[in-house]
Amino acid sequence: MSNGPLSGIRIVEFAGLGPTPFAAMTLADMGAEVIRIQRPGLQSLMGLDYDILDRGRGFVELDLKNPQDIETVKGLLASADALIEGMRPNVMERLGLGPDEIHALNPRLVYGRMTGWGQSGPLAHAAGHDINYIALSGALHAIGPQDTPVIPLNLLGDFGGGGMYLAYGVVCALLEASRSGLGQVVDAAITDGTAHLMSMIYAMNQGGAWADRREANILDGAAPFYNVYQCACGGWVAIGAIEAKFYVELLARIGAEAELAKTQMDRSTWPALKQEFAAIFAQKSRDDWDSVLLGTDCCYAPVLTIAEAFDDPHNQARGVFEKGGQMTEPAPAPKLSRTPGGIQKASQSEALNVQEILTKWGSA
């Protein structure tokens, strides 16, 4: 039994892609008892024997086209604290599992909905993926070199603007329901969440401090002191010396002229200085630069591969990753001092007995 902050909270998850299982994972990591409903015989879409996104919770196999199984689902929801689903708008309603039907059954249930475009709006019923959703917010336009936008994996949309906002919204609604006794619908859209994440950039743009084009701003690759550079070994390093005192230290440690500090924010000097910095960093290996810069106030880090990140001393000291039986996986985050989260044990190959769960939850 977990002692995490969500211990005692029961959540029903409808199997889905990307942001929905990620939200369920984060809630399970923090102690919630999450039961995933998936269709019989469903295989991992990634072809994995063990999927990190599905960790910490068991599953039951139910056919949502079968009226008897729909009644079983309603039995689970009658005793649940929350539901999360990632289907297109109105699909749950057509199944007889929409918010109105379920709130009539369980008024205190928090109904979490994850979509790309949202439950309303002209694009609500259109298909899409992460790349489409982040395009609509201006985020994709802002990332990358001048000649082309760069796809930031699906971290920005699916997981940052999507799954984390679903989990956050569900926890907020659970907190309110503990006072009011009433649930509500959480309409989490990746377009909404990504726009919310862009708040600082929007403010800078409208305040005249951010040009609406790529590689023209302090955080988008234009600045020599906030950039990545290739080393003699072929590896890369990341520099983020924005503040003047950090920039002064960087110049001293890499052997650049101290006078450059006087023109740090003169954008006309940036293109030539980037070339100068590139030439300097190309003179040594990444390991050599680590010995000079790592742990200083230069705002420096080596650009690690995934395998290197697993073995990095700082990550190991922090317990960022846990090595389980099948995979190295990120530990629950953030870290709580009194009721920390933990990876709960659950099989990803053997379905739970739904009748036993109904009895346990008091719904049988």
- Residues annotated as catalytic are 129, 158
Q: Are strands 226-230 and 185-189 parallel, antiparallel or unpaired?
A: unpaired
Q: Are strands 33-38 and 58-61 parallel, antiparallel or unpaired?
A: parallel
Q: How far apart are CA 246 and CA 297, in angstroms?
A: 6
Q: Any idea what DSSP says for residue 107?
A: T
Question: Please, are residues 127 and 155 in contact by the beta-carbon 8 Å criterion?
Answer: no
Question: Please, are residues 114 and 166 in contact by the beta-carbon 8 Å criterion?
Answer: yes
Which residue from 21, 186, 195, 23 is spatially nearest to 119, judged by alpha carbons? 186
Nearest 5°: phi and psi at 310?
-60, -35
Question: Please, are residues 229 and 268 in contact by the beta-carbon 8 Å criterion?
Answer: no
Q: Is 69 helix (H, G, I), strand (E, B) or coil?
A: helix
Q: How far apart are CA 202 and CA 212, in angstroms?
A: 10
Element (H, E) at 301: strand 300-302
Which residue from 200, 197, 43 is spatially nearest to 15, judged by alpha carbons? 43
